[in-house]
Amino acid sequence: MGERQYQDITDEEVDILREAGSIASGNAMTSLGKLLGCTLDMNVARVRIEQIQELSEVLGDAEEVIAGMIINVYGDFNAMLLLALETESALKVINLMLGREKTNIEALDELDCSVLCETGNILAGSYLSALNTFTGLAFDVSTPQMAIDMAGAILSYPAIEFVRNDNTMLFIETAFHDKNDVLSGTYILILDNDSYNKIIDTLGANI
């Protein structure tokens, strides 16, 4: 099949990507819930094509400070995973994992940052394991890069890597939270055009 351009994505292809994102995110959220000892709920995955000028608003207020773990995916296709946590949620993860009661996101030490990166790594493994199961595509991940910064600034990095000539970017977004709304965040898989084609081609006949 010839290569599609994702700006011409069909409703059927959106459904395929949404289903893939929901299954993969569900697997990741199950892993995170077990890790933290809580039950997580997630919204239905959304497939979005946004202009680069609009990306700063994807996670809400572009100037809100968040914790972001960015993970490069490579192998049969190239992509990027972004785990974005509100600062209170990032502190919640650290405190649950280490038995601490830190209250200041700006006072994180090396161990705290390592916990967040490892959390991102575990989620990436679970997310991609689900994709591998029903696509057969093989991939690996980079060491997570963590940043505490404004949401718009954190999104600017994947935008530089994946934006097309028409200034658009394709991604699958899943928001999640626990039942008490103490822990909340967003998981995003960012795809280039080649990756979009490979996922559609492999999943079109399987989902």
What pLDDT, on a 0 to 100 scale, did the predictor assign at position 13?
Answer: 92
DSSP per residue, 98-147? HT-----GGG--HHHHHHHHHHHHHHHHHHHHHHHHHH---EEEPPPEEE
What pLDDT, on a 0 to 100 scale, did the predictor assign at position 162?
Answer: 74
Cα dihedral across residues 61, 191, 142, 97: positive or negative? positive
What pLDDT, on a 0 to 100 scale, did the predictor assign at position 10?
Answer: 92
With 0.75 as the threshold, say if the pTM is over it.
yes
SS3 at position 179: coil
What pLDDT, on a 0 to 100 scale, did the predictor assign at position 12?
Answer: 92
81-135 pLDDT per residue, tens: 989 898 899 998 998 888 888 888 888 889 999 999 988 888 888 998 988 887 8
Q: Which CATH architecture has domain 6-203?
A: 3-Layer(aba) Sandwich (3.40)
What pLDDT, on a 0 to 100 scale, did the predictor assign at position 207?
Answer: 47
Question: Mean pLDDT of successive 10-residue segments in the chain (207 residues)?
Answer: 79 91 90 85 88 70 86 89 90 88 84 90 89 86 88 79 77 86 83 88 67
The backbone torsions φ and ψ at residue 122, rounded to the nearest 5 degrees and listed phi first, read -65, -45
How many angstroms from the chain centroid is the CA of residue 164? 19
Residue boundaries of the structural domains of the chain? 6-203
